């Protein structure tokens, strides 16, 4: 059962998402919150698998809520998905740096929304290749304002780990990485996980940011 926390300052939005999620046998909405401060309290209380958090809320916004969740070791299993009305707005990269696993536009079609919740719950980044390319083009060519993690740099990764990180940055799944590297999916997952550990990256989304900010991959307009 996938446990979900809904965070949005608009009750109607929360109700709409909840109605959709409640129809699924493998998904349970365990709590709701109207702002980032309440989101942190509910996350600590219920330990959801996925927290769907609106990016713009009064008081503690979605980015700060994400940052606080990511900084709490007790919430390491919570995968934050940012909800936005604006697609690739100026805050999305900040949200990824803060620890978000990905983002969704609120006008997403229901089937894609439900798929996204399941993708986030299993720890994959919600960054399809087309979205990744747009995000890179729009933001990552700019000088970084914050560091992704406090771990090692690219030089500390093995050659295969660096290769895996580059493929993650292209939006590939573990199965696709395995195919490209001619290895088993389990070995691909191992390379990705070891890279995340060395780089202190919370999840695959932060590997994407790291790959471009470190120069492992160079953005092209």
Residue 208 in tokens: 């994407």
Res. 188: pLDDT tops 80: yes
The top-scoring range by mean pLDDT among 136-150, 186-200, 203-217 is: 186-200
How much is the pLDDT for 86?
63
Q: Angle 173-112-181 (CA atoms, 0-180°, nearest 5)?
A: 10
Question: Whole-number mean pLDDT of the chain?
Answer: 84
Residue with token string 């696993």: 101
Q: How many Cα atoms sit within 13 Å of 110 on the Cβ side? A: 9
pLDDT average, residue stretch 33-57: 95
Largest pairwise CA distance in the chain: 49
pLDDT top residue among 219 and 52: 52
Looking at per-residue confidence, does 66 or 107 come out higher?
66
3-state class percentages of the chain: helix first, strand second, coil last, to nearest 5: 50, 15, 35
* pLDDT exceeds 90 at position 149: no
Confidence band of 216 (pLDDT split at 50, 70, 90): confident
Residue 134, CB half-sphere, CA atoms under 13 Å: how many? 10
Percent of the chain whose predicted confidence (pLDDT) is above 90: 49
Q: What is the pLDDT of residue 97?
A: 79
User: 101, 80 in Cβ contact below 8 A?
Assistant: yes
75-99 mean pLDDT: 79
For residue 146, pLDDT over 50 is answered with no
Q: Is the pLDDT of residue 131 over 80?
A: no
Residue 207 and residue 195 in contact, taking contact as beta carbons nearer than 8 Å: yes
């Amino acid at each position: 059962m996938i446990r979900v926390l809904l965070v949005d300052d608009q009750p109607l939005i929360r109700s709409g998402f909840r109605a959709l999620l409640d129809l699924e046998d493998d998904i349970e909405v365990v709590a709701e919150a109207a702002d980032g401060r309440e989101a942190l309290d509910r996350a600590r209380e219920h330990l959801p698998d996925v927290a769907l958090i609106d990016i713009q809320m009064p008081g503690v916004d979605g980015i700060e809520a994400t940052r606080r969740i990511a900084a709490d070791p007790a919430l390491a299993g919570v995968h934050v998905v940012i909800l936005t009305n604006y697609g690739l707005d100026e805050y999305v990269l900040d949200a990824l740096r803060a620890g978000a696993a990905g983002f969704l536009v609120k006008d997403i079609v229901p089937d894609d929304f439900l798929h996204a919740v399941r993708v986030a719950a299993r720890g994959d980044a919600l960054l399809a290749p087309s979205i990744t390319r747009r995000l890179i083009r729009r933001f990552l060519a700019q000088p970084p304002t914050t560091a992704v993690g406090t771990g090692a740099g690219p030089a500390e990764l093995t050659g295969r780990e660096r290769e895996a990180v580059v493929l993650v940055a292209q939006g590939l799944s573990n199965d696709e990485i395995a195919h490209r590297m001619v290895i088993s999916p389990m070995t691909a997952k191992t390379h990705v996980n070891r890279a995340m550990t060395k780089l202190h990256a919370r999840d695959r989304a932060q590997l994407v940011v790291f790959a471009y900010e470190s120069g492992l991959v160079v953005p092209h307009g």
